[in-house]
A and B are shown apart, each in its own frame.
Chain A
Amino acid sequence: MNDLKFAVRQLLKNPGFTAVAVLTLAIGIGASLAIFAVVDAILLRPLPLPESERLVTIYHEYAKSDMGRMGTSIPDLYDRRGKIEAFTSIGAYMSDSVVVGDAGAGRREEALRVSSDFLETVGVHPQMGQAFSEDQMTFQTHHVAILSNDYWKRQFDADPQVLGRRVRVNGFDKTIVAVLPAGFRFLSTQPQILLPLSSQVDHRGVERLHSNSDWGMIARLRDGATLAQAQAQMDALDAVIQPQFEWAKQVAEAGYRAMVVPLHADHVASIRPTLLLLQAGGCLLLLIAAVNLVNLLLVRASDRVKELGVRQSLGASRGHLLRQTLTESLMLSSAGGLAGLGLGAIGVRVLRVFGVEQLPLGLQVTLDGRGIVVAVVASMVFGAVVGLALTAFYLRSRLVDVLQAEGRGSTGSRGVQRLRHGFVAAQMALAFVLLVGAGLLSLSLKRTMEVSPGFQAERLLVGHLSLIHKNYLDGAVRQRFIERVVERVNALPGVSFAGLVSQTPVVGKGGASDSRVLSLLDQGGELITPYVYGIAGDYFRAMGIPLREGRYFDVAASSRDGRVCVVDEIFARRHWPDKGAVGQLIFDGPEVEPEEKPFTVIGVVGAVRQTDLTEPSKHGAVYFRLPEFPNGFDGLHLVARTAQSPERLGPTMVKALRDLEPEIPLNDVRAMESRIADTLVGRRSPALLARVFALTALLLAAVGTYGVLGVAVAQRRREIGLRMALGALPRQIGRQFLLLGLRLLAVGSAFGLLGAWLAGKAMQSQLFDVPPIHMATFGRTFLLLGAVALLACLLPALRASRVAPSEALRSE
């Protein structure tokens, strides 16, 4: 009889055991695999660009200011190009979305504005045509476009003569000069169209440094050059260039430095700790599953010692036993691995529902060959290790004892029992750690969601308008259009207030700028960087931002308001702590020019969270009317407070705007609450996943406890019968097993407490307003684990108390 046939028969003989074992392993492997697919795609796999390990990004750090990290500006590209020996090339880019097509029939597409050497820097050559040239990088000459392979196939039927044809972008005709190779992706974007990152030639001098710093900059390291060399050369170049800047002193005081960091690592830096945390959770779950499975196999091994002994007595060598045990364990682990692959694939889909695609490089998340190989190898290794361990377990039993033993109870030695009990306690400890981890993350999410954004997010609809269009380059035309938009939306039934804003708080990227407060000028010194907003219409009322002092902008007679601004309470408190802010004067920019007119503060409003619910701004915010907004704008967000569900109003608002101006569609129309929910994906997904892991771990721990106690009862049936025959009461017998379960719980919880404390410390950076040791969470976890463990103990204990002495003694 071959081993395979017998192994199959063994597994089919105990369908309950087989199902639990396979499912246990599948859950462990599936969970780890799904998380590994994310970690692999985001952290481990190189960027899909040639020799991507040589790509770096350059960003500007203002360590001592509220701005933190910023992009680069136009002059940086021209100052640095060809001057840093460690780089073979430097490129700049800016993500954008553009309307492609004719008026009324245009589609919004993802676009990337790139400098002339961008494609050379990322190492991508067009499939046909040529990359942009430097002389196409001005507003006068930038009427060219490069199509993605997908867009070329989709919109131009893969026309081989496409070069030289026209494509209409934001109302402008562009000449197609190249088509990209298939599958081109840059970081988390998959642009359909590339446009020149154009600028005015006279804006490329040092006087424009540190303004409009929203360009991303990348460079390719020369072969053999190191990051440290590149950083040193960058510092040296800045030491020459920066002093030429008009406000060099203030910039230096703000802690400016141009940082050179690996592109991939930088792009995923924000999500890295979360992913590692989740991978640790997945590994813990796999460990629990493995421990559970080993325990189940040990239980079964105890029952099978005699069978293996008989085989030995019939001539089976150690090799024969090893082969048979390995066949069985490998078959079981392969089945678990295969089921784990299935669960892993489902897990990846579930992760997509959890918003994994919104993470950096999240679009790349798939269960590919690497993940499959890892799962198969892991399950094989597990099967082999378990098979070897079980063979050793079988062989350590003395054949004479095994063959002479009357019942199976004789094979459950104290050592094996202790090992099984230890495994159950270990499972409980690991489950405790996962439960506490999930509890802390959930509490952190809850506290984040409880943070008020500073405005009323409910019943607020937000859409995006892009004014980069040939018909709207003139300021006066734009202003008229803005007024008409506000008027039209305000007139829609169900809209109570409507307004426009250059950036929405919390969900936008925020626009930190530098403003100077006139009354503090004499004290001098500090560079302040409040967030600045350009607004129109009844923005404050639409958002529900409360008025603290003075008044809002006059909507009805806006033209008479003149050069005025509204500040938030943080800004007001910081600069005029002892007197009212209304009537105070502020200037834009770090220096006050003699001829510059100040803005008069007419009101103080409540503070809103700027970039994230968890990070209050230190320097507050200043609101300008759009015509006077010093930063300029090309895109605007339309906000409307609605009487009904905001989603229902969306189509009406889109249609109203289309009727008004078909060339400028309203895009990305969604409720503010849904947008805020999106910003929490980095907290919500780990919290949800951790909960899933923790509950699975709890289930596995319960199965483990039940299994071990159940076996203990079965193996000690004769002893129980004897005790009862000698006068023990059923409740005394039941209590004996309950106490065993509680002892395991106590030991598991003690180690779990220690593990949870360490896990809490490791998770600290991921927690908002939650300490690593949160006694209430620890307490709740103990109660939950205790209740589940008690339930798992109860059934075996009841079974023990119902053993009939006569039957138990006769059965042996």
Chain B
Amino acid sequence: MGYQTSLGGTGYRFNDLKTLMAKATPLRSGDCLAGVAATDARERVAAQMTLAAVPLKRFLQEALIPYEEDEVTRLILDRHDAEAFAPVAHLTVGDFRDWLLSEQATSASLRNLASGLTPEMVAAVSKIMRIQDLIRVAQKIEVVSAFRNTLGLKGRLSTRLQPNHPKDDPAGVAASLLDGLLYANGDAVIGINPATDNYHAVTRLMCLLDEVIQRYEIPTQSCVLTHVTTHLEAINRGMPVDLVFQSIAGTQAANASFGVSLSVLQEAQQAALALGRGTVGNNVMYFETGQGSALSANAHHGLDQQTCEARAYGVARHFSPLLVNSVVGFIGPEYLYDGKQIIRAGLEDHFCGKLLGLPMGCDICYTNHAEADQDDMDMLLTQLAVAGINFIMGIPGSDDIMLNYQTTSFHDALYVRKVLNKAPAPEFATWLQKMGIMDDQHNLLTGHTLPSALAHLQAKL
């Protein structure tokens, strides 16, 4: 069956649900590249009006990618929780927006609803929401995860300390790591992108991070962002793996292009759980995603990139992750052209992930070939923090010298904690006070001198 409407005397017809979803998506370059975007602004709003009238139940009947062809579709439909869905089962997409904004949608009711929603339902409603709607609803949701500390609590904002170095040099990594800790960053994870996938280089970094965490008794976790199969190998050889990392996408074919499948992810999760390295929780997975990844692997099945992204969250939630990070501006201007498109995409991703029950963070970032700058990042950072984001990146001076892009700095995290009165994760905040890095009002103490707990490092400066 098709979907149709008329607007201003013009009739519009959309052949199927995925076409309707794509045409209803706010303008972005990746959908134009894929040839699935609305041809003009009027067709887009006609699609949004049509989509608003589609019953949520329809998404359980019309799979956007056939069940037989795609294991992500099978995961989403097989795991759908009809009982949790019941409170909104009678609503259309448009009604669902009203419901989400209403007093009926509370922190508790939204938590119970998550397993009753499919990624496609969540993507659909986001397409007819404004920025303030995406913020308002996300702000109601609290998603807490834990490993060696507790992340995502209301009033908290955590950071991934990202001490990347172009040669994986241990002293270079340690210099950025110390800088970050002295700027009160690193509670979400201390996570390095290695310069190579070389097994020995990767495990060297794993050992370095583990020893620093143990030596200074930091209540946080480490991760070296290498392929999931390298993590498995490292675990099998007895290396200290806290979190298993993997980039994931929303279709089976896109995941295959990353060299992963649901079964490999399952195997890695089980292996990490068996190590039992968490102290206050057992969320052992760290996923990264980003709009455009399925299209860039030519594995999008005619879906728009934001719907594909929401389906990646459908994959992520199956593995109870500690962290899910939308690397929103990393992919480049072919998919998100400028600051305006990056900002909206970042807020959509956060909203969709949270509504599906995920501990969302965002790599608020841009590349040097995109039409974006620090002002755009400040806007997205401030808006995401208002929306209650669990974590952001923290790197020295916003400049990633290994991956060659700009993301949020240690200073940015302190700025946004200040203006919104947010604190680091509780266990980490206690450690910062014990070390003399912050006071009990979360004011930074470091600068002129090293805190006394680190006085022995004076000789190394």
Bound pair (A, B): no
List the interface of chain A (C-beta within 8 A of B).
Answer: none
